[in-house]
Chain A
C-alpha cells in the first residue's frame, strides 16, 4: 500500500462528519424499527398493559386466562381430517394431548360465576413431533375483529369514565353479537359440558395442495344441563376445577373435534362474524381428557397455547388475530417465567374433589 498523501484538516472533518451522519442514520432507523419513535404503535406490551388495567398484573401468572386447570389425554383421530388437511395428526391414531381449562380473566382468584368466557388451551403432538396448539373459547363469535379493537375493549372495560363501555360498543358495532351472547347465553356447571370454538379462521391444505378455509369446535359428549349464573355462584367460587377433577377421576371425558368448512366467498378475516348456517362440517376425532394435572407445577405452565403453532397442512388465514395472539402470548410468557419466583409453586396443587 503506497502511503497516502496527507489529508487537509477540512477533509478529515468532512470525513468524520460523514461517518457520524451514517452512524446516526443507522441508529435512527434501528430506533424507528424498534418502535421507540412511534409511541402510538400497538405493541404486545401495550395490549398486556390494557388487559391488566390500573391494578397491574398478577406476577408469575399468565396475563390472561390466568385461572385454569391442566389436563393430559389423547386426541383420537378418526382419519376423516385427511380429506381436508395433510397434517399427519389427522391420520387415524392416538396422539398425546395436553391442555388447560381456563377462565377468561386476568385474576387467578376470580370466582367461577364472575367470568363469562371459558377457554381451553390444547396441544396435540402428532407423528414425528409435529405440534398443533390451539386456544378456544366458549363464545360463538369473538368480541372484536382486530388487535386494536381488543386493546380498546380492555381500556373501556377498565375505564372509570361513565359510559365507556357503551361508547366502545357504539364505535365497535361488531361487538354486538358477542355482547348479546354474553348477556343471554345459558351457563353450565362443568367444563365437561362446555363447547369451545376456534372463532379465528385457518387454512387447511390437503395432500393435493387444495386449500380449505376452516373453523373448528370441541363439542362436549357429556349431556349438557343449562344453569343460571346464580346457580353456578351457589356452587362455590372454584366449583369448575373441583368438578372436572372429580369427573375425570371417575371416567375420561370426551369432546368431538368438529371442523366447519367455509363456502366459497365466506369471509375469514373477521371472527366477530359467524359463518351462515348450513356449512359443511367434518368430525375429525375426539379429545379424551384422561387425567387432571396439577396446575401450579404441572406441564401446562411450561408452554403457551399459541394458536399459530401449526403443523404442516395448516396455516393462518387473513384473520389478523392469531398473529397478534402469538406475539402477546410470547410477551406474557417471557414476563411470567421471569417472575416465576413470585408464583406460588408447591402449594396444594390439584383441587380437592367435590363431594
Chain B
C-alpha cells in the first residue's frame, strides 16, 4: 500500500474519530452530571473520570504520532487567515485534549477526593488538597469545557466548509472512510 501524502494515516484517522466521539461524550456527560441530582449522577461521574484518563492517554499517543508523522499540507491556495485559524485551533484542540483531563485530575486531587475509576481503579492525587488551587482548577475546568465545545463546533463547521464548499481535500485527509484510490 502506498501512503498518500494528502491524507492522515489510518491510525491517525482512527484516533481522530474515536477521540471525537469520546470528547463529545465527555462534554455532554460533564454538563449533564453537574446539573442533576438523579441516580445516574454516580455512573456518569465514574464514566467521566474514566473516559478522561482514556482521552489523556490517547491524546498523548496522538501527539507523538503527529510529531513523528506530521500532517498533510493544507491546500496552497488556502487564504492566510484560514490557514492561521486552522493551525491555532489545532494547537488549542491538542492543548485541551491533554489539559482538560489533567485539570480535572488536579481538581479532584485538590478537593481531597479519592480518584476512583470504573472497576475500582484508584489513581494517586497529583496535588495536595488546597482551597485556592481547587477553585482555580474548578473554574478552569468549567470555563474551558465551554471553550472546548465551541472550538469543536468551529472545527466541525470548518471541516464541513472544506467538504461542501471549498472541496479542497482537507476533509478527505481525515475522513473516517478512506478515499477511493484514484487514477
Contacts and interface: CB of A to CB of B under 8 A. Distances in A.
A joins B in a complex: yes
Interface in B37-79: 37-42, 45, 75
Contacts of B122: 128-130
A302 interface: yes
A328 interface: yes
Interface in A144-165: 147
Interface in B112-127: 112-114, 116, 120, 122
Nearest to B6: A1
Contact of A18 (B6, B41, B113, B160): B160
Contact of A30 (B149, B164, B168): B149
Given A323-B37, A328-B37, A309 B113 contact: yes
A320 B40 CA distance: 10
B165 A12 contact: yes
A1 B41 contact: no
B10 to A, nearest CB: 19
Contacts of B120: 311-312
B35 A35 contact: yes
Contacts of B139: 338
A323 B37 CA distance: 7
Interface stretch (A40-48, A69-77, A103-111): A40-48
B153 A23 contact: yes
Contacts of B113: 303-304, 306, 309
B37 A1 contact: no
A340 B132 contact: yes
Given A34-B32, A41-B35, A326-B41, A15 B153 contact: no
Given A1-B6, A15-B165, A43-B35, A327 B138 contact: no
B41 A327 contact: yes
Q: Is the interface of B mostly helix, strand, loop or mixed?
A: helix
Nearest to B158: A19
A16 interface: yes
A29 B153 CA distance: 12
Contact of A44 (B37, B131, B132, B134): B37
B112 A30 contact: no
B174 to A, nearest CB: 14
Interface string B163-181: 0111111001000000000
B28 interface: yes
Contacts of B87: none
Given A22-B156, A338-B135, A33 B114 contact: no
B31 A309 contact: no
A302 B42 contact: no
A44 B164 contact: no
A238 interface: no
Contacts of A131: 114
A27 interface: yes
Given A7-B165, A34-B31, A22 B160 contact: yes
Contacts of A18: 160, 164
Interface of B: 6, 27-28, 31-42, 45, 75, 111-114, 116, 120, 122, 129, 131-132, 134-135, 138-139, 149, 153, 156-157, 160-161, 164-169, 172
Interface of A: 1, 4, 7, 12, 15-16, 18-19, 22-23, 26-27, 29-30, 33-35, 41-44, 47, 128-131, 147, 302-304, 306, 308-309, 311-312, 316, 318, 320, 322-324, 326-328, 331, 333-334, 337-338, 340
Given A42-B36, A333-B111, 16 more contacts: A1-B75, A4-B166, A4-B168, A30-B31, A30-B149, A35-B31, A35-B36, A147-B38, A308-B42, A309-B114, A318-B39, A327-B41, A337-B131, A338-B135, A340-B131, A340-B135
Closest 9 CB pairs of A and B: A35-B35, A1-B169, A34-B31, A4-B167, A324-B37, A15-B164, A340-B131, A337-B131, A303-B112
